[in-house]
Chain A
């Protein structure tokens, strides 16, 4: 497969601050690649370096094998969709889209047909003469995309373009963007702090934190097999315990949490007994009142603190008796659990295969927790 975009050991420093630290990745032709990270993690800086609006301090950026160092943004085969779209208010929709083509001095009739075609492709046929401020949020979005796609860039860069839209439209645009990308086949590099956007749309997601990559993987793998505690916390919801290894055999470990519960879980790398670990468990991995016949489950009791109803995404907020560790437990809306009320005591069970365990990292954890709150 052809590699459209290769970022090699790129570092960007602003005086003493390192925004992007030795980042490398490759994006194959025609794929949808996302960079996911909390705000301030350096993802916008990285994108601007690919577009050419900022020069990297070190490292190389290659597009289809050609080095882009020292090449001005207007000479690069990439286009960027800005966070606030940056449609030109002094021009109408058709002029906005034709802007890049005019700069290439293509002939007038060719420009006209190209604009017509791309407007049809983004379902905005007949909108050419409208002013940009007469459009709705979703339509503006599509104009911005059309304005870039009409230039047939090798790579299309998108800087959180859905951030300004309301929730409903955002959900809709997510699906539309994914469909559009499949239709045009252009390589998309998408940056976002919204994990659901990244998971829904991407073929591959790179999770970035404090200027470095934590993990590059498919959305499924990121969710089920996080490689670092940060990824485990940042991608999707997760419950966590701190604890110590009691016993460890190959990839199975027995862990005693700080509250005194004992769980069996799989572990990536064997650790000696006594080692401090962080244990992560997805809300949907916890079964409410599991059947007594399932003997292999870790079982423990919790007190329901609150029921967080959110349709298909409903959860229970609970805590084990006599502790204040809060746990999120998925609450399937099949009416089976309607009897559960606040302050009920229920039993929770989970399979050892669903747990994810990392050696405890003190400093890093504090920081990532702070970012989650922010």
Chain B
């Protein structure tokens, strides 16, 4: 009986284990060892910290790294600022029969691939794009302005891409918020701001944190949006990794960069959890 149980457990666990070990753990270990190797003068691979040293010695690399980290945090924060009122409106203000429709509206853009959505933005924003066309027609501009390829546009694109992943967890925590708590706070003399800070946000914090983790990781690891909307003016660290692997064909350097990004995201999330006094187990639920 006991043996049989164990057999069943292994049977169902094995696909997951295989997937984890073969596709994630093994390649990562391989990349990790790769990141500590460099080619010596004889053309042979030897153990070395040189790849990591290069990162710290070349300002372009670590500047991009810091930039990516700071902008990812900024994007996460902006997404939260926009998502909270949306989630609040959907759960507490909109009529119940309207809620499904609003969620549908949120989901709809995600039926289209990210690439197509980003190209949509490019059609709107580029120098010969729709917005410039109308602004000139209306006489507000004399000559077209390039709205693509700057930090602001790229951040807007990243926020737009991440929106849904913040709204959905917040919607689900706000649904469990008893309306009478808000009314009670209002009745006890709280104004809108203190209701938000003392009641709504403390209640929604698990959803906010899990949404933030997802948005932060997606943003940090995003390649498409920074590449297409930010262009050469707004470098993203993933582009550096891509360049090492594909353009320079320096897999060792690329692997080192990849691990630095992994450390960065783990570190930022750990700090975030500590600051909000949440633990990962609770947030993941």
Chain A residues in the interface with B (C-beta under 8 A): 51-53, 72-75, 79-80, 82-84, 86, 88-90, 99-100, 103-104, 147-148, 151
Given A73-B186, A84-B180, A86-B181; A103-B203 close (CB under 8 Å): no
Chain A residue nearest to B205 (CB atoms) is: A90
Between-chain CB contacts (< 8 Å), 8 pairs: A53-B183, A74-B186, A75-B189, A80-B187, A90-B203, A100-B188, A103-B189, A151-B188
| Given pairs A90-B203, A103-B190, 6 additional interface contacts (CB within 8 A) | A74-B186, A80-B183, A80-B184, A103-B188, A103-B189, A151-B188
Asked if B233 is at the interface of the complex by the 8 Å CB criterion, the answer is no
Chain A residue nearest to B186 (CB atoms) is: A73
- Per-residue interface assignment for chain B, residues 184 to 196, with 1 indicating a CB less than 8 Å from any chain A CB and 0 otherwise: 1111111100100
Interface pair A53/B181, CB less than 8 Å apart: no
Interface residues of B in 150-209 (CB under 8 A from A): 178, 180-181, 183-191, 194, 198-199, 202-203
Which residues of chain A have C-beta atoms less than 8 A from B191's C-beta? 74, 103
CB distance from B197 to the nearest CB of A (A): 11
Which residues of chain B have C-beta atoms less than 8 A from A100's C-beta? 188-189
Chain B residue nearest to A84 (CB atoms) is: B180
Given A74-B190, A100-B189, A147-B188; A86-B183 close (CB under 8 Å): yes
- Checking B184, B198, B203 against A82 with a beta-carbon cut-off of 8 angstroms, the contacting residue is B184
CB distance from B184 to the nearest CB of A (A): 4
- Checking B178, B186, B198, B203 against A84 with a beta-carbon cut-off of 8 angstroms, the contacting residue is B178
Find the residue from A74, A75, A83, A89 having the highest chain B CB count within 10 A: A74
Chain A residue nearest to B201 (CB atoms) is: A90
Bound-state CA distance A84–B189 (Å) is 19
CB distance from B183 to the nearest CB of A (A): 6
Chain B residue nearest to A78 (CB atoms) is: B187
Which residues of chain B have C-beta atoms less than 8 A from A99's C-beta? 185, 188, 190, 198
Chain A residue nearest to B184 (CB atoms) is: A86
Interface pair B188/A53, CB less than 8 Å apart: no
Chain A residue nearest to B192 (CB atoms) is: A74
CB distance from A71 to the nearest CB of B (A): 12
Interface pair B194/A103, CB less than 8 Å apart: yes
Which residues of chain B have C-beta atoms less than 8 A from A74's C-beta? 186-191
Interface pair B178/A86, CB less than 8 Å apart: yes
- Checking A72, A83, A88, A147 against B199 with a beta-carbon cut-off of 8 angstroms, the contacting residue is A88
Which residues of chain A have C-beta atoms less than 8 A from B186's C-beta? 53, 72-74
Find the residue from B180, B188, B202, B203 having the highest chain A CB count within 10 A: B188
Which residues of chain A have C-beta atoms less than 8 A from B184's C-beta? 80, 82, 86, 88
Interface pair A104/B189, CB less than 8 Å apart: yes
Interface pair B183/A148, CB less than 8 Å apart: no
Which residues of chain A have C-beta atoms less than 8 A from B187's C-beta? 51-53, 73-74, 79-80
Bound-state CA distance A51–B202 (Å) is 25
Bound-state CA distance A73–B190 (Å) is 9
Bound-state CA distance A83–B183 (Å) is 12
Given A88-B181, A103-B194; A79-B202 close (CB under 8 Å): no
CB distance from A63 to the nearest CB of B (A): 14
Bound-state CA distance A247–B180 (Å) is 57
Bound-state CA distance A51–B184 (Å) is 10
Interface pair A151/B181, CB less than 8 Å apart: no
CB distance from A51 to the nearest CB of B (A): 6
Which residues of chain A have C-beta atoms less than 8 A from B199's C-beta? 88, 90
Interface pair B178/A79, CB less than 8 Å apart: no
Bound-state CA distance A80–B186 (Å) is 10
CB distance from A68 to the nearest CB of B (A): 13
Chain B residue nearest to A76 (CB atoms) is: B187
Which residues of chain B have C-beta atoms less than 8 A from A84's C-beta? 178, 180
Bound-state CA distance A147–B187 (Å) is 11
- Per-residue interface assignment for chain B, residues 13 to 27, with 1 indicating a CB less than 8 Å from any chain A CB and 0 otherwise: 000000000000000
Bound-state CA distance A139–B185 (Å) is 20
CB distance from A106 to the nearest CB of B (A): 11
- Per-residue interface assignment for chain B, residues 231 to 271, with 1 indicating a CB less than 8 Å from any chain A CB and 0 otherwise: 00000000000000000000000000000000000000000
CB distance from B190 to the nearest CB of A (A): 5
Which residues of chain B have C-beta atoms less than 8 A from A148's C-beta? 188
Bound-state CA distance A84–B181 (Å) is 10
Find the residue from B183, B187, B189 having the highest chain A CB count within 10 A: B187
Bound-state CA distance A358–B186 (Å) is 46
Find the residue from A53, A88, A89 having the highest chain B CB count within 10 A: A88
Find the residue from B183, B184, B202 having the highest chain A CB count within 10 A: B184
Bound-state CA distance A151–B184 (Å) is 13
Interface pair A79/B188, CB less than 8 Å apart: yes
Bound-state CA distance A84–B178 (Å) is 10
Given A80-B184, A82-B184, A103-B194; A151-B202 close (CB under 8 Å): no
Interface residues of B in 41-79 (CB under 8 A from A): none
Find the residue from A51, A79, A84, A103 having the highest chain B CB count within 10 A: A103
Which residues of chain B have C-beta atoms less than 8 A from A151's C-beta? 188-189
CB distance from A44 to the nearest CB of B (A): 12
Bound-state CA distance A52–B183 (Å) is 10
Chain A residue nearest to B191 (CB atoms) is: A74
Chain B residue nearest to A95 (CB atoms) is: B198
Interface pair B189/A82, CB less than 8 Å apart: no
Interface pair B185/A88, CB less than 8 Å apart: yes
Chain B residue nearest to A51 (CB atoms) is: B187
Bound-state CA distance A73–B189 (Å) is 7
Interface residues of B in 101-122 (CB under 8 A from A): none
CB distance from B173 to the nearest CB of A (A): 12
Bound-state CA distance A51–B189 (Å) is 11
Bound-state CA distance A83–B184 (Å) is 11
Bound-state CA distance A79–B185 (Å) is 10
Which residues of chain B have C-beta atoms less than 8 A from A79's C-beta? 187-188
